[in-house]
Amino acid sequence: MKAIFDQPSFYGIPLDTLKEILKENGHKPFNADQIYSWVYEKLVFDVDGWTNISKDLKSFLTSKFSFELPKVVWNGHSKDGTRKFLVGMRDSKTVETVMIPAKNNRKTLCISSQVGCAIGCTFCHTGTMGLTRHLEAGEIVGQFLAVTKWLKENVSDEERLSNIVYMGQGEPLHNFEHVKNATKVFLEPKGLGLGQRRVTLSTSGLVPQIEKLDDFPPINIAISLHAAHNKIRSELMPINKAYDLTRLLDAIKKIPLKAHRYITYEYLLIEKYNDRAEDIEALIDLLPKKVSKVNLIPFNEYPESSFKRPSVTRINWFKDQLEKGGITCTIRTTKGADILAACGQLKSEMDKKLNLWEEENFTSPT
């Protein structure tokens, strides 16, 4: 795995790897379980607080890894309970992380996998930024830890995060190895212990990486489909020119469905563009029944985009027709609209404040 920093973050090291590293360097592998418990169960991020770990091992670990957590540099609270965080990394780069409350006291954290994104979807604000860099595994887990710590300090101890979706900035499968290691850390029963069904990865459809998913922890997979015609999909998502719908659907059929019984397809609804009767027919023809679930996402408008969100009547009609065609379907409600919680929107709004923050807090990025 390509190192992003000379000293990688500790929070991206899966338990098995940590055990190997300890063994190779003359330490006892069982110490890894104790260290995991300090960090991920007791949330003690300062090695000085680890009472049952030797000085020798602590100095080995701090010489090899960075234990610095990403910083919450800005946060917003929506009337509907959604919280948006701007999280700053060691080199001053920032990403968005959004906490979305759900029923039964569940809280989903929407995390970023890259700074910006290389895929360049025409409807997506992140896509217009281009890719600045991948996030290292520890920065991906770091968003979860930084928000957990922030909630504990600023809201209450009870505010525990229960689910993760890779739906912030970036294309997670473009950053395969780092996202894979971060996912292992999220799932580790001796650490954060999130269940496989509580983690969802959303991808724009990188076929070669989808074909490698049997080498990935078995989590939920969501595919950003957005169109059932190649012409429309290529206009929205340039990646469709490289891997069209036939290749994408072929690759999806081979995904091992261990953790779940179905694949979720995300379908952005854009007024008078992909919300027509012929789009419904094409979707019904395209998707394998019983194992497909469609999540309709009404387009989140933003000033720089000419795309519009269809009316509520149109959205409900689209859903009803799809269901009549035998496809299970849900509508994603917009969360945090008053704090610009949609993909990529905060970043531009916050640019001025951010620049100021970066200048104050960091020396020049490497």
In the list ligand SAH, ligand SF4, none, the entry touching 299 (Cβ below 5 to 8 angstroms by class) is ligand SAH
Give the helix/strand (H/E) hosting 267: strand 263-269
Total residues contacting ligand SAH (rule CB under 6 A)?
15
Q: Which residues of 197-231 are buried (b: 16+ CB within 10 A; e: fewer)?
A: ebbbbbbbbbbebbeebeebbbbbbbbbbbbbbee
Which residue of 204, 220, 264, 274 would you call a contact of ligand SAH, by CB under 6 A?
A: 204
Amino acid 84 reads K
The catalytic residues are: 96, 343
Residue 300 interacting with ligand SAH (CB under 6 A)? yes
Residue number, 119 or 210, with CB nearest to ligand SF4: 119
| Least distance between ligand SAH and beta carbon 199 (Å) | 13
| Least distance between ligand SAH and beta carbon 104 (Å) | 24
Residue 207 interacting with ligand SF4 (CB under 6 A)? no
Residue 95 interacting with ligand SF4 (CB under 6 A)? no
Residue 124 interacting with ligand SF4 (CB under 6 A)? yes
| Cα–Cα distance measured from residue 338 to residue 106, given in angstroms and rounded to the nearest whole number | 21
Residue number, 82 or 202, with CB nearest to ligand SF4: 202
Candidates 139, 127, 138, 62; CA nearest to 93 is: 139
DSSP string, 330-352: EEPPP--GGGT-STTHHHHHTHH
Q: Decide if 162 contacts 192 (C-beta within 8 A).
A: no
Residue 115 interacting with ligand SF4 (CB under 6 A)? no
Residue 117 interacting with ligand SF4 (CB under 6 A)? yes
Total residues contacting ligand SF4 (rule CB under 6 A)?
12
| Cα–Cα distance measured from residue 204 to residue 182, given in angstroms and rounded to the nearest whole number | 19
Residue 143 interacting with ligand SAH (CB under 6 A)? no
Residue 228 interacting with ligand SAH (CB under 6 A)? no
Task: Give, as ranges, the residues between 155 and 184 that touch ligand SAH (CB under 6 A).
Answer: 167, 171
DSSP string, 272-317: TTS-SHHHHHHHHHHSPSSSEEEEEEE----TT----PPPHHHHHH
Candidates 4, 10, 169, 173; CA nearest to 94 is: 169
Nearest-CB residue to ligand SAH? 300
Q: Which residues of 54-87 are buried (b: 16+ CB within 10 A; e: fewer)?
A: eeebeebbeeebbeebbbbbbbbebeeebbbbbb
* One character per residue 130-169, x = contact with ligand SF4 (rule: CB under 6 A): ---------------------------------------x
Residue 126 interacting with ligand SF4 (CB under 6 A)? yes
The footprint of ligand SAH (CB under 6 A) covers 123-124, 167, 171, 202-204, 224, 266, 268, 297, 299-300, 342-343
The footprint of ligand SF4 (CB under 6 A) covers 117, 119-121, 124, 126-127, 169-171, 204, 224
